[in-house]
A and B are shown apart, each in its own frame.
Chain A
């Protein structure tokens, strides 16, 4: 960092460095007199590395810096702190550690469901078991069965925070680093740009605030998803299946990505010609992976004691719906019971269209047109139909062109579609579409103004819609600090409007794409709305009779912005798919 003297060092030899030197243009700006200056502050911080400093130095420093910010955020409040009797997500995770280490597997998904009953897939349960075992070495009272409910020991907080950050550094961070390495190489992006993109991605405010502030383990699921993407880039489809099953098995929310994954894997087996062996292998590996995932739970249900216990427990609705009558004392019944109970717990079909205020289409429509008036069955179908409509185009494109290079916009589009239209969406689920969309900045020209403006804007909007939630957790200060930092480092409003102004890149090639006028107007309007909203929320009490006015406003604006993000990702995907089409056309003509 820091100095220009670095420039006298000979450029590190990288394969065909000259070939992709051009992509660095967008990172430097011509300041006159032939001098180039960093285009945005994040570039400044890696200025010293532009002549090629070993990744062995840059990478650890980046990881340490982003780790420090994560740990500093974790010093603040968490969800449910001092809110008896139910507390919040922190208590839920702690409670799962408590029940998994003390109860037999057969009781995991049935034990006292009213108090944070386990409703995440098995991998979360195993993860909790492991963490609970480790935590009990430090202090068994943290996880004493039933007695530890609502415990708020400061050391317990440190331990729990450490479990999040360690899980992240073991899964998410390696996945992101290896994925970016492969992806940037594929897109011919220079190492310097890649490391800038890496630090931007690792500083995504929403992810940090939810995982290290609010308290969740989203990065484990996201990390497994990115690992699966990485496996696709490497051409290891079977590993991709395994990692993706892992992501699904950690958090059912990974289903947002599943349609594209399915379309892609199916496309790989059928386009341009049908490959039955490959299809068979992929299906087999997926099934086996699911089986392995469930195996401990199934085995746990087979013992005599477990069978007896499950015999006496009320049947899960899925099992009731089964047309055949089963002998409740048989071990087959126990196994089916266990599986049905897991599925029943994971997918809460019986809940409403949306729960809290969340910035998706339903909640926004509900503000103007009450949706309670419809039957829930109709709403479910409506939601299913809308979701399917929103994801059909991207899935179709991916099926037609099963190329790794267009996967990111497809994942982002489909996840936005799910977020906007599907059933029972949580505000935290915004992390799912944000991740693949943010990864776009690592691609070719990703740090140029156009993509950077869009990705930055979506992230700002995403964390802004989380503000009401974060406020409940006492995380206002980390929210402002982390979002402001992100905006500052990427050169976005409200810290700088530079990104929407015309600038000459330091190279005369001048190919850098600028945001469209349309984008400039929309973004500016949204940034202004967010700023005004914060002022209103902070200083103006909502009118009597409408105590939720500011939150509702947040939801409506957020839903509008996310709709635009959906369209942008879709548009990008269509453009890229179309260019693949024309390439194919050209190639065919040449061959004739």
Chain B
């Protein structure tokens, strides 16, 4: 199969043009967070990085990310030294904005490189599928909304993840895959959600003999162990030496937060809260006891600590047990079937499990599912039909991140553009599966996608017209996240079936 068009580079050029035009768009507090980190890493000794607390946005990413900010700060001083002053809170000169936005675009080249490697790593017969999947990731509305408007550095981090996945496809590069993932963990600890899949896969495919689990490959084990330990040693060693590990743990894992994040992530707990809300008026008839403390909380669903009026409370242990359970199930299959495609499937399912059942999940974590899934979404039609509701729900659930009027057309039109384009292209190129489809979700998924249109119109326009900006603010958020949760759960169930029957 010849070269496919448009090439990744061509799309990257046009997308970059668009992203540069978005420089003056709305930035969330994450912009100030990252500016503050630039200032901290630039002007303070490493010892004080995790103790500095002038700004409320303290450094809460692992050491490599702090080092990454330090590298950027070396360039930042040429753009505008004032942004590197810790006391300059909320500093946003145009140089600062241009600089920070430009670094997001520049570091995204890692993603481009990784996607290019991914396309080259697949056999020629399915190159066009990999090409389409890569384009869908490169142009992902999720990355556009989160990185280029809201402000974060996910493009570069997911680039490393994909690079690591590409390396996991070949026996000879498995070691690099492990190292890349270790580095990724030291950049952002959210990837811990996927670490179990890596652990199982590397153990089975690299440290043990592919033919028999009882023949460990000692040399491989040593190489992997030493490399990973070195990566973690470089990252955390100095802090361990200074006795700061407890402080790092406090910063990295602030477990004092509530079950649901400020904007409800579309997961099982959003559905749980929604059900609870519905049950409140019904409870007296059903004879259920109502917790009146929860009723009086006006800001329900907006602040961290959601409490339930009718349904039983959920504890951290519950969420942890459920997450673990649903991660282990696909990993059993991975253990018995340690092949690259199963591995990507297992990664996706680990992402699903932690997103759906995790404690205090951010809606942004949906990328943890979408991006690995995109790599195998067009493997055949069964994968694609599980991917479809996820693509709609996952991206729609990111809409509440941007609530300003000027960004409304950007997020909706761009997402719509992406959905129409890629759902159409995927639908056209996804090959017919080898085995017949087991269930008929297509009608439901079509219905599901159609419902999103009136829902978005209601949540972004009609609700404000009917109730004004202040009243029942949680209602659109709750509808949105429950709707999206339905899609994510639906696609999860669908993908589970595909994964276990493949």
Binding site for B on A (CB under 8 A): 1-6, 35, 37-38, 41, 43-45, 47-48, 57, 60-61, 64-65, 67-69, 71-73, 75-76, 154-155, 157-158, 161-162, 477-478, 481-482, 484-485, 488-489
Residues from chain B with Cβ under 8 Å of A161 in the complex? 406
A154 to B24, CA, bound (A): 12
User: Which residues between 401 and 446 of chain B lie within 8 Å of chain A, taking CB atoms?
Assistant: 405-406, 409-410, 413-414, 416-417, 420-421, 424-425, 428-429
Q: A155-B405, A489-B14 are in contact. List 8 more A-B contacts (CB 8 A).
A: A4-B128, A37-B5, A44-B7, A61-B417, A61-B420, A69-B18, A71-B410, A162-B409
Q: DSSP class of A's interface residues: helix, strand, loop or mixed?
A: helix
Q: Are B417 and A484 in contact (CB under 8 A)?
A: no
Q: Are B413 and A477 in contact (CB under 8 A)?
A: no
A80 to B197, CA, bound (A): 57
Q: In the complex, which residue of chain B has the Cβ closest to the Cβ of A157? A: B406
Q: Are B410 and A481 in contact (CB under 8 A)?
A: no
If A3-B132, A68-B410, A477-B20 touch, does A57 touch B2 (CB 8 Å cutoff)? no
If A4-B2, A5-B128 touch, does A73 touch B21 (CB 8 Å cutoff)? yes
A583 to B56, CA, bound (A): 80
Q: How large is the interface on B (under 10, 10 to 19, 20 to 34, 35 or more residues)?
A: 35 or more
Q: Are A64 and B416 in contact (CB under 8 A)?
A: yes
Q: How far is the CB of B352 from chain A (nearest CB, A)?
A: 27
Q: Are A3 and B429 in contact (CB under 8 A)?
A: yes
A76 to B14, CA, bound (A): 19
> Which residue of B24, B135, B429 contacts A76 across the interface (Cβ within 8 Å)?
B24
Residues from chain B with Cβ under 8 Å of A48 in the complex? 5, 425
Residues from chain B with Cβ under 8 Å of A482 in the complex? 17
Q: Are B25 and A44 in contact (CB under 8 A)?
A: no
A71 to B421, CA, bound (A): 20
Q: DSSP class of B's interface residues: helix, strand, loop or mixed?
A: helix
10 cross-chain pairs, A with B, having the tightest CB-CB distances, nearest first: A47-B5, A72-B21, A44-B5, A44-B6, A3-B128, A64-B417, A158-B405, A485-B17, A2-B132, A75-B24
Q: Are B21 and A69 in contact (CB under 8 A)?
A: yes
Q: Are A2 and B410 in contact (CB under 8 A)?
A: no
Q: Are A38 and B5 in contact (CB under 8 A)?
A: yes
Q: Are A68 and B5 in contact (CB under 8 A)?
A: no
Q: In the complex, which residue of chain B has the Cβ closest to the Cβ of A74? A: B406
Q: How far is the CB of B415 from chain A (nearest CB, A)?
A: 10
A362 to B254, CA, bound (A): 70
Q: Are B421 and A485 in contact (CB under 8 A)?
A: no
Q: Are A68 and B420 in contact (CB under 8 A)?
A: no
A67 to B414, CA, bound (A): 10
B13 contacts chain A at the CB level, 8 A cutoff: yes
Q: Are B425 and A478 in contact (CB under 8 A)?
A: no
B10 contacts chain A at the CB level, 8 A cutoff: yes
> Which residue of B4, B22, B131, B420 contacts A75 across the interface (Cβ within 8 Å)?
B22
B1 contacts chain A at the CB level, 8 A cutoff: yes
Residues from chain A with Cβ under 8 Å of B448 in the complex? none
Q: In the complex, which residue of chain A has the Cβ closest to the Cβ of B416? A: A64
Per-residue interface assignment for chain B, residues 140 to 164, with 1 indicating a CB less than 8 Å from any chain A CB and 0 otherwise: 0000000000000000000000000
Q: Are B22 and A4 in contact (CB under 8 A)?
A: no
Residues from chain B with Cβ under 8 Å of A488 in the complex? 13-14, 17
If A75-B21, A481-B21 touch, does A68 touch B128 (CB 8 Å cutoff)? no
Residues from chain B with Cβ under 8 Å of A72 in the complex? 18, 21-22, 25, 410
Q: How far is the CB of B5 from chain A (nearest CB, A)?
A: 4
B479 contacts chain A at the CB level, 8 A cutoff: no
Q: How far is the CB of A531 from chain B (nearest CB, A)?
A: 19
B23 contacts chain A at the CB level, 8 A cutoff: yes
B313 contacts chain A at the CB level, 8 A cutoff: no
Residues from chain A with Cβ under 8 Å of B5 in the complex? 1-2, 37-38, 43-45, 47-48
A37 to B3, CA, bound (A): 9
A482 to B17, CA, bound (A): 8
If A68-B410, A71-B413 touch, does A47 touch B420 (CB 8 Å cutoff)? no
Per-residue interface assignment for chain B, residues 1 to 37, with 1 indicating a CB less than 8 Å from any chain A CB and 0 otherwise: 1111111001001100110111111000000000000
A217 to B69, CA, bound (A): 44
Q: Which of A43, A71, A157, A162 is most buried by chain B, counting CB atoms within 10 A of its CB?
A: A71
A5 to B425, CA, bound (A): 10
Residues from chain B with Cβ under 8 Å of A35 in the complex? 2
A16 to B453, CA, bound (A): 39
Q: How far is the CB of A544 from chain B (nearest CB, A)?
A: 28
Residues from chain B with Cβ under 8 Å of A155 in the complex? 405
Q: How far is the CB of B282 from chain A (nearest CB, A)?
A: 39
A4 to B131, CA, bound (A): 10
Q: In the complex, which residue of chain B has the Cβ closest to the Cβ of A3? A: B128
A41 to B10, CA, bound (A): 7
Residues from chain A with Cβ under 8 Å of B132 in the complex? 2-3
Residues from chain A with Cβ under 8 Å of B414 in the complex? 68
Q: Are A75 and B6 in contact (CB under 8 A)?
A: no
A154 to B428, CA, bound (A): 43
Residues from chain A with Cβ under 8 Å of B406 in the complex? 75, 154, 157-158, 161
Q: List 20 A-B contacts (CB under 8 A).
A: A1-B6, A1-B425, A4-B4, A4-B128, A41-B14, A43-B5, A44-B6, A45-B10, A48-B5, A64-B416, A68-B410, A68-B417, A71-B409, A72-B410, A157-B406, A158-B406, A481-B17, A481-B21, A485-B17, A489-B14
